[in-house]
Amino acid sequence: MRIAYVDMIGGAAGDMLLAAFLDAGLDRDALERALRTVVADGWTLTPQRVVKRGIAATYAGLFVPGEDGDAEHHHHHPGDDDHHDHGHAGGGTRTLAEVLAIVERGGLSVRQRERASAVYRRLAEAEARAHGTTAESVAFHEIGQIDAILDVAAACVALDLLEIDELRCSPFPIGNGSIRMQHGLYPNPPPATAELLRGWPTRSVDVDGELVTTTAAAILTTLGTPGPRPDLVVERIGYGAGTSDFAIPNVTRVVVGSAQPTAWHGEYLPIGWDEVVVLETNIDDMLPQHYELAIERIFAAGALDVWLTPIVMKKGRPAITLSAIAPPIDEEAVANAMLSETTTIGVRARRERRHVLPRSSATVETPYGAVRVKRAGSDGRSRTRAEYDDLLRIARETRLPLPEIARAVDAAIEGEGSR
């Protein structure tokens, strides 16, 4: 399992996270192609190498001329005095529905769209609690601007391109002083950021300035999990820079590596174990025909498995338990899919550990052409199975019975294994 550990040395902003992923080797061209499907033009991405208190880092250089007002990109960097100043040209406001529409219209993968939407829903709920309104009526100011929309999308694309299975976060640093916002001076951190960090570990830092922006808090608390620094075989390290200079280096560090045995509820998980989220809900008022599309969309949101169990609820009512397994990083997106695609009003979630065999994918040549296969296990007790979708495609193309195709493909797999 590949884990990315976000070490908030000088805090975190949306573009500092983007810069850290770029510094860790994220393919810039692939990222920009994906982002252009969300917002086609009107922005540039010109990363630069900088040095922050002796640490070489990358500055993202995401620039939206109509929003920024100047090349400093002020309103999106921790510590700048006018970080929450809404007076930028072309600022305006957007509702949650308008932001989600921008994300949905884009060409991101289904999982990327679900993750980005989950970030914005969590953000809207935090804003609503902080300001005494509803998530639907929240007016996003700078957080609804194009650069913030791109920052959220970029994080979701980066996790896919770097093949990250879990995002782990250090405690969030909290600075001193007040934050200037649209309505005057606010306490540090501002109310919406404080709501997002509820239940997450924080640490006090003797620095004047906003160290964690609302956008970064939304990304990390939606897609990440709190926890100690994991035991990793480190593969990549990236530093993302902010514009301000503090007594500490104003950088976000991302360390990416493969997991080693790590603590799980006070125990240690041996190699071959991982952690998943199990989500469940009981439903007694949904048409049976509607489950097919719901299950399809729950899988698309990132679920590893989805199933239905018949149960009996109060007053002897026949009902269904809808269950799903998901990686921790996709918990919120899968839960949102279950809530939006069914009639339920609540989803239960619990962490479980599982023992898994090492898995890999390959292609095997058969009498019907190349067929994708999955291998599970190690030498001595491994098994290989053909992808069912490939067998189904061959059956439709050749009009032969599926069992006959499966026998021929299995023979080809065994023949390759004996060579």
pLDDT in tens, 290-312: 999 999 999 989 999 999 999 99
Closest CA to 55 of 189, 253, 273: 253
Mean pLDDT of the chain: 86
Together in a domain, 88 and 71: yes
pLDDT band, very low/low/confident/very high, at 44 (cuts 50, 70, 90): very high
Q: What angle do CA 314, 319, 323 make, to 5 degrees?
A: 120
Least confidently predicted of 138-147, 149-158, 275-284: 138-147
**pLDDT at residue 184, rounded to an integer:** 73
Q: What angle do CA 224, 225, 226 make, to 5 degrees?
A: 125
Together in a domain, 345 and 391: no
* Domain end residue (candidates: 232, 260, 288): 260
223: left (phi over 0), alpha (psi -120 to 50) or beta: alpha
Closest CA to 153 of 109, 90, 211: 109
* Domain end residue (candidates: 335, 355, 375): 355
* Packing angle, helices 291-300 and 331-341, rounded to 10: 160
Non-local (6+) Cβ contacts of 80 within 8 A are 72, 74, 209, 243, 244
In whole angstroms, how far apart are CA 107 and each of 36, 38, 111, 112? 8, 6, 11, 10
- pTM to 2 decimal places: 0.73
pLDDT at 81 over 50: no
Together in a domain, 69 and 158: yes
Residue type at 159? L
The token duo for 161 is 């391109």
The token duo for 394 is 């061959």
**pLDDT at residue 89, rounded to an integer:** 31
| Residue carrying structure tokens 């593969």 | 235
**pLDDT at residue 69, rounded to an integer:** 40
Together in a domain, 49 and 109: yes
Together in a domain, 190 and 302: no
**pLDDT at residue 322, rounded to an integer:** 97
Together in a domain, 364 and 331: no
340: left (phi over 0), alpha (psi -120 to 50) or beta: alpha
* CA 406/CA 143 separation, integer angstroms: 53
pLDDT at 413 over 50: yes
pLDDT band, very low/low/confident/very high, at 72 (cuts 50, 70, 90): very low
pLDDT band, very low/low/confident/very high, at 262 (cuts 50, 70, 90): low
Domain count, the chain: 3
Phi, psi values for residue 92, rounded to 5° = 65, -175
Non-local (6+) Cβ contacts of 225 within 8 A are 166, 167, 168, 169, 328, 329
* Domain end residue (candidates: 260, 288, 321): 260
pLDDT tens per residue, range 376-401: 776 666 788 888 888 999 999 999 99
Question: E strands of 118-230, at which residues?
Answer: 166-169, 172-176, 178-181, 184-187, 202-208, 224-226
Domain that holds residue 279: 273-355
pLDDT at 193 over 70: yes
The token duo for 212 is 């964690």
Question: Within a domain: residue 304?
Answer: yes
The token duo for 96 is 């949650």
In whole angstroms, how far apart are CA 394 and each of 210, 251, 368? 58, 52, 7
Together in a domain, 150 and 277: no
Together in a domain, 322 and 403: no
* CA 246/CA 79 separation, integer angstroms: 8
